[in-house]
Chains A and B, each alone.
Chain A
């Protein structure tokens, strides 16, 4: 890491390390190491979230009044780097990082009371209902309908339609959702942001298995689901404004801490892979050269992210930096997973559950299984959260309007 730490920051890093030494059990570390998808499967991710919650570190970026830490941007960066380096299971961000900022910015005090504590302590697990079969990059074209009405039990919406690519819907007990509450006018008008329990009658979850065979994604069907109107966030038909606000948070994460941890893992994998052929092998030299090139790209992204964090701390608006970070972070991750497969070579050919790699006298390389699974899963990185083509459109629009 290029950036120096102040004595306070170094003390903070040591405090985090001590905590991780104690709190991250071997089982949790193994779950983190075996996470070849985007996020660790619940329950491991959520178990770790509960441990962090006990320490007061489950939602570090939240405002202090809601249970956040009040850390400096550099402390957040150090925290993320230490977690990644220690193989902590990555926790899916739909609750803490996506819906929570929306609840804080647009929710009523009653909604904040009702939902934020459960996100912070891990009692609740949220999923995101944005994309639909007919509305991907063109999100404003969504058709899932919510019709407002009154009955004996009060003000409510009747929900019909479907959401797709819903990460971890099979684990979630709550969902936040963009729905169409009015038609006519521009497609961005007439969209509302509502939250509800996944246990409501009329909700069906169908698994979608990804290229690696993993089950992270789902399609969710709504058949005349009665959603209490208390789940509406903000004004009816104001949902597009909220959706854009959330996307800024979704894309505004720091990528370099995890990329650096992955780079170190590739470096170790390379040494293992050529333990037999030796370091004099020409392919070994080629692969090391590629690692050096990726090292430079991670350093550059880290410098960019730290600069953005400093600007944020001064109160500057994020501007187009979330889109730039998304493009660079995801394309670097894809480059790393691609190189990992090349390092693994024939060890990436078999398909088995990672935990079964050594469960036989004829063991296979867990790293090889991981390399292929993460390569396949990470093809999604340039598609989710707004495709990288859409991000480049946004960057260009920003350049041309300034």
Chain B
């Protein structure tokens, strides 16, 4: 497969992480529904590889690789079904904390880069689909501090987290806010459900939690911009992760059709299967090319704007949505094709391909479904109403 646009540093990053995963993750058992939960790879990433800060700024103790480094890591983790908790911690929380820039945010960013902190990103709410602005979580002013109440849904990483980043709405003004919580806060109650990819999806209640003023990192339009940027980072992050997932399914499928014999010949000799393989490959190539093109475009946009430019945010949103839709389509074409071409073995727990298929299916639903991203593209491209 093509990595032809990777820099030497990015290739080294991918190779060292890939070797570590091959040595440490047993894909014959990893992410099976009947297997005990795997420990997160986070500590090892920090201890053995020093990669938790790969994409974080040098000022926070990171390696300064930026968005592309995050995506290289996520793509590689995707090939071993290990994207959590890197995705929520380093990429999504990391990008929100960089934008917030308060002393508390900077301290947590440094702890992430050092591998000491794991962050749960709590944005989605029951019944709210993937609305960009929070509604079911409210903040009320209480003296010099705040009180936080509400519900969050399908939170990843929660059992492993040391900290929580929670989006909320200020009851009095309706403005958005970004809140930092300690995971040990007694007002946090969770129902941790296993997700089908070996990670977690937790339902969360926030019960009248008292917070000091500094725990509210951002409010108002600044918080909205941060939320939008973090959600776009997450969407592009799962696109990169999907590339690793899809690449593995393609490789497994190619190996299978070469080996499997029916009617006295390898099933790879049948044209109907060959055309399906071709379509899977073509879908993957599109997803791969667009994900990296969007990563470069986002990098340029953030260079150009340093925070506040509306046009840059619009371009970023358009580009990320196009990537998410394209990757979502590839998840279905490659995933369903891989299961079909594996025959009955493809619908069992026995083979890794089924677990990669589950993750591919989840990815299309995360950080905005394909339908939501198509609507956003349409909204952003709509002609001025006369």
Spell out A's residues near B (CB within 8 Å): 2-4, 267, 271, 279, 288-289, 291-293, 295-297, 299-304, 306-307, 310-311, 314, 316, 324, 327-328, 389, 391-393, 395-397, 399-400
Contact = CB atoms under 8 A, between A and B. Distances in A.
B148 interface: no
Interface string B313-324: 000000101100
Contacts of B282: 324, 327-328, 395
A400 B268 contact: yes
A267 B377 CA distance: 13
B290 A4 contact: no
Give the interface SS of chain B, mostly helix, strand, loop or mixed: helix
Given A295-B377, A400-B268, A288 B382 contact: yes
Contact of A279 (B5, B258, B268, B385): B385
B378 A291 contact: yes
A311 B5 CA distance: 8
Contacts of A3: 293, 296-297
Given A291-B378, A400-B254, A303 B289 contact: yes
A316 B5 CA distance: 12
Interface string B1-44: 01011000000000000000000000000000000000000000
Given A310-B5, A311-B4, A396-B275, A300 B326 contact: yes
B297 A293 contact: no
Contact of A4 (B297, B325, B375, B381): B297
Say whether chain A's binding surface is mostly helix, strand, loop, or mixed. Answer: helix
B378 A296 contact: no
Contacts of A306: 289, 293
* A-B residue pairs, 5 tightest by C-beta: A396-B274, A303-B293, A395-B278, A300-B286, A303-B289
Interface of B: 2, 4-5, 254, 257-258, 268, 271, 274-275, 277-279, 281-282, 285-287, 289-290, 292-294, 296-297, 300, 319, 321-322, 325-326, 374-375, 377-378, 381-383, 385
A389 B274 CA distance: 10
Given A2-B297, A310-B5, A300 B279 contact: no
A330 to B, nearest CB: 12
A297 B287 CA distance: 10
Nearest to B330: A300
Contacts of A395: 277-278, 281-282
A252 to B, nearest CB: 15
Contacts of A304: 285-286, 289-290
Contacts of A324: 281-282, 285
A3 B315 CA distance: 11
23 contacts: A2-B296, A279-B385, A292-B381, A295-B381, A296-B321, A296-B322, A296-B377, A299-B293, A299-B319, A300-B286, A300-B289, A302-B293, A303-B293, A306-B289, A307-B2, A307-B293, A310-B5, A311-B4, A314-B4, A391-B278, A393-B274, A395-B282, A400-B254
Contact of A297 (B254, B289, B326, B381): B326
Contact of B286 (A288, A295, A301): A301
A2 B4 contact: no
A289 B381 CA distance: 11
A11 to B, nearest CB: 18
